[in-house]
């Protein structure tokens, strides 16, 4: 069963983790905390099937929280500042090479980048790994999606990211209109992207 989180508060990013589709420390403890918090919110949908693009669009119309700004160095030496790139929606994926679900998800993320990069910004934020490790992973797999380096996990802590992969989309007004903790399917990614365009 997929847990889809739409227009969520930052509290969700702190408390919710998926045991089988994410990498996190003390996962059972985090999952128990999340289960307790879910009783207080009605923004989590549980569905046997993946939501359609229209369903995602309907949820995205609800006002999401404003994204917190940050600036990170990219592996190519440039800098990326989130709120200075709102000419197009932005898909942010928080990941690491040591995280199996992140690695399994990355080929689909790369495909989405190639298909939608003219209409949406993509940035894969790596969690606290060295540039050499990141570049070796990217070169080995021939991935081209832009990668930012959160060397001290400052952005991860600012957003309260408790497990990876975590993916969210920021619209051109700077609001988070989609977010999910845990690995996404290609269809989930595509529906979320289409809904944000």
Tens of pLDDT along the chain (197 residues)? 444 444 344 444 444 344 345 676 555 555 444 434 333 322 333 344 555 545 545 454 556 899 999 999 999 999 999 999 999 999 999 999 999 999 999 999 999 999 999 999 999 999 999 999 999 999 999 999 999 999 999 999 999 998 999 999 999 999 999 999 999 999 999 999 999 99
Compute the distance between CA of residue 139 and CA of residue 117 in angstroms, rounded to an integer: 20
Tally the domains of the chain. 1
Q: How many CA atoms lie within 13 A of 171 on its CB side?
A: 19
**Interior/surface letters 66-81, b for 16+ CB within 10 angstroms, e for the rest:** ebeebebeebeeeebe
- Candidates 174, 177, 173; CA nearest to 191 is 177
Report pLDDT for 162: 86
Q: 């399994």: which residue's tokens? A: 104
What residues contact 57, with CB distance under 8 A and at least 6 apart?
Answer: 194, 195
Domain assignment of residue 120, given as a range: 2-196
Please report where in the chains the tokens 């099937």 appear, as a residue.
49
Looking at residue 21, its pLDDT comes to 57
Q: Are 94 and 161 in contact (CB under 8 A)?
A: yes
The verdict on pTM exceeding 0.85 is: no
pLDDT value of position 76: 98
| CATH code for the domain in which residue 14 is found | 3.40.30.10
- Distance separating alpha carbons of residues 164 and 14, to the nearest angstrom: 12
30: three-class secondary structure by DSSP = helix
Residues 6+ away with beta carbon under 8 Å from 191: 50, 51, 52, 53, 55, 56
């Amino acid at each position: 069963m997929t847990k889809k989180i739409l227009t969520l508060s930052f509290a969700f990013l702190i408390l919710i983790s998926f045991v089988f589709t994410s990498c996190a420390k003390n996962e059972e403890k985090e999952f128990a905390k999340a289960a307790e918090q879910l009783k207080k919110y009605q923004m989590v949908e549980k569905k046997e099937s993946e939501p359609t693009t229209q369903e995602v669009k309907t949820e995205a119309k609800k006002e999401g929280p404003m994204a917190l700004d940050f600036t990170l160095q990219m592996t190519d030496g440039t800098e990326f500042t989130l709120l200075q790139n709102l000419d197009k929606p932005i898909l942010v994926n928080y990941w690491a090479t040591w995280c199996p679900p992140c690695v399994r998800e990355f080929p689909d993320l790369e495909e989405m980048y190639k298909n939608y990069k003219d209409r949406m910004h993509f940035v894969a934020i790596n969690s606290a790994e060295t540039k050499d490790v990141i570049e070796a992973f990217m070169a080995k797999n021939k991935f081209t999606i832009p990668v930012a380096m959160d060397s001290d996990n400052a952005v991860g802590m600012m957003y309260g990211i408790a497990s990876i992969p975590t993916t969210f989309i920021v619209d051109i007004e700077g609001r988070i209109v989609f977010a999910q903790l845990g690995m996404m399917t290609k269809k989930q990614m595509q529906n979320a992207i289409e809904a944000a365009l």
